[in-house]
């Protein structure tokens, strides 16, 4: 079985939805930018690329991957749109790696795209009636009071904090550290090698270039975070706030996954090797705990232990998820989310998994090698993890 390697990994800077720099840029245009760049950076001739697999969420269905392939000039390449909620981007990379390792494809572009700013609003006719439910979102599970399918602050954030006894102060402290680390990473130019400048045309016709993550807050503090109101004050003890939750964001990311033999034939040096991946399901009430199982499963498949991993990113869908995963797996907090994550960088839903892989691959190159793990939860009681080595 051949190895699956990354020949390129790139992303847009992350915008703040509805009021940020990418608010006028569609998920389709964002996808085209990263697909084109992933192909160009790989060093492979376009005709060697076999497929494009992109995570999408809230984009209204259709095949956004085929759209991006065509717009990027890859007319001969089909496309697959994939939805695993928050883990869509990570699942797309895993899907590409599986096809390469199986010998079915030799080069696949994979990633995710998200424009919450321009996402369509759906409605449906209620079965058995002539009434319409508006707005409507496709459920991942049957809602219950403890696990509503359309309120992640309860499903993920509050349940995780409640089940493991994580305090408001712990979550706020994690969120503050996330912002501090993200701001430091931006200032040090840590993301410069992975970010593609995006030309943005405003409503007034003015053009600008967006190339710096805009969601991290430089002015936050424990006092400011503590002053934020709970999102559900009617629930006794509810401790989830906008401050210890992920952002609502726009952005896209893509990697090129290739057969290691193809890379060698072309004289190309990979960024990293995809060693293993895993997806798991749990009771929806325990959605925020799913990364714990996913990480264990992925590391076991790679023949590694947590002590072998140099850097983790556990997506901060809510700070509670990263705190819980760190505690339960006994991780060194210094090795977890060293450049921030969802609370600070933001969480463009379908993009985040691919963005994490992109950031970790570039970090392994800076370090001269090592092992990294990207992990996250996903709505409906799911979790995913992927292991990189270099």
Query: 179-213: per-residue pLDDT in tens?
Result: 999 999 999 999 999 999 999 998 888 899 999 99
Among 10, 85, 86, 179, the one annotated catalytic = 86
CA distances from 373 to 12, 176, 205 (A): 21, 22, 42
Residue 58 has pLDDT above 80, yes or no: no
Radius of gyration of the chain, Cα coordinates, nearest whole angstrom: 20
> Contacts by 73-78 with C-beta closer than 8 Å and gap 24+?
73/36, 73/46, 74/35, 74/39, 74/46, 74/49, 76/47, 77/49, 77/50, 77/51, 77/52, 77/109, 78/51, 78/52
pLDDT confidence tier of residue 1, bands split at 50, 70 and 90? confident
Among 85, 179, 215, 347, the one annotated catalytic = 347
Sign of CA dihedral 290, 293, 294, 295: positive
Query: 225-256: per-residue pLDDT in tens?
Result: 999 999 999 999 999 999 999 999 999 999 99
As a whole number, mean pLDDT of residues 147-159 equals: 96
215 is catalytic: no
Q: How far apart are the C-alpha atoms of 275 and 277, rounded to whole Å?
A: 7
- The CA angle 381-26-22, to the nearest 5 degrees, is 90
Is this model's pTM higher than 0.95 or not?
yes
pLDDT confidence tier of residue 23, bands split at 50, 70 and 90? very high
Coil, strand, or helix at residue 369? coil
327 is catalytic: no
pLDDT confidence tier of residue 60, bands split at 50, 70 and 90? confident
343 is catalytic: no
CA-wise closest residue to 363 among 372, 355, 351: 372
Percent of the chain scoring above 70 in pLDDT: 100
Among 10, 85, 343, 377, the one annotated catalytic = 377
Parallel, antiparallel, or unpaired: how do β-strands 107-115 and 51-56 relate? Answer: parallel
């Amino acid at each position: 079985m051949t190895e699956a390697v990354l020949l390129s990994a790139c992303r847009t800077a992350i915008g703040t939805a509805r009021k940020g720099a990418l608010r006028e840029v569609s998920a389709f245009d964002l996808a085209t930018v990263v697909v084109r760049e992933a192909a160009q950076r790989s060093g492979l001739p376009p005709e060697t690329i076999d497929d494009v697999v992109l995570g999408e969420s809230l984009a209204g269905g259709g095949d956004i991957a085929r759209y991006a392939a065509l717009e990027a000039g890859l007319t001969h390449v089909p496309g697959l749109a994939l939805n695993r909620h928050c883990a869509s981007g990570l699942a797309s990379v895993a899907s590409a790696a599986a096809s390469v390792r199986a010998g079915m494809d030799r080069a696949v572009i994979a990633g995710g795209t998200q424009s919450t700013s321009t996402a369509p609003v759906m409605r449906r006719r209620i079965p058995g009636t002539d009434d319409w439910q508006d707005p409507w979102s496709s459920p991942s599970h049957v809602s219950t009071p403890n696990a509503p399918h359309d309120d992640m602050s309860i499903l993920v954030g509050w349940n995780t904090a409640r089940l493991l006894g994580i305090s408001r102060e712990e979550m706020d402290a994690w969120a503050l550290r996330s912002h501090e680390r993200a701001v430091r990473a931006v200032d040090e130019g840590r993301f410069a090698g992975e970010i593609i400048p995006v030309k943005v045309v405003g409503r007034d016709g003015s053009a600008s270039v967006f190339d710096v993550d805009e969601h991290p807050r430089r002015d936050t503090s424990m006092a400011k975070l503590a002053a934020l109101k709970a999102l559900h004050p009617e629930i006794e003890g509810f401790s989830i706030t906008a401050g210890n939750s992920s952002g609502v964001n726009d952005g896209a990311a893509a990697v090129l996954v290739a057969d290691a033999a193809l890379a060698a034939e072309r004289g190309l040096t990979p960024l990293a090797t995809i060693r293993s991946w895993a997806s798991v399901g749990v009771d929806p009430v325990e959605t925020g705990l799913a990364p714990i199982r996913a990480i264990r499963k992925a590391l076991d498949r790679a023949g590694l232990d947590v002590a072998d991993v140099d850097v983790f990113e556990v997506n901060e869908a809510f700070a509670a998820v990263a705190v819980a995963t760190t505690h339960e797996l006994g991780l060194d907090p210094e090795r977890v989310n060293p450049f921030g994550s969802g609370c600070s960088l933001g969480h463009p839903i379908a993009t985040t998994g691919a963005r994490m892989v992109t950031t970790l691959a570039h970090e392994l190159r800076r370090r001269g090698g090592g092992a990294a793990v990207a992990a996250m939860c996903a709505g409906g009681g799911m979790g995913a993890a992927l292991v990189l080595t270099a």
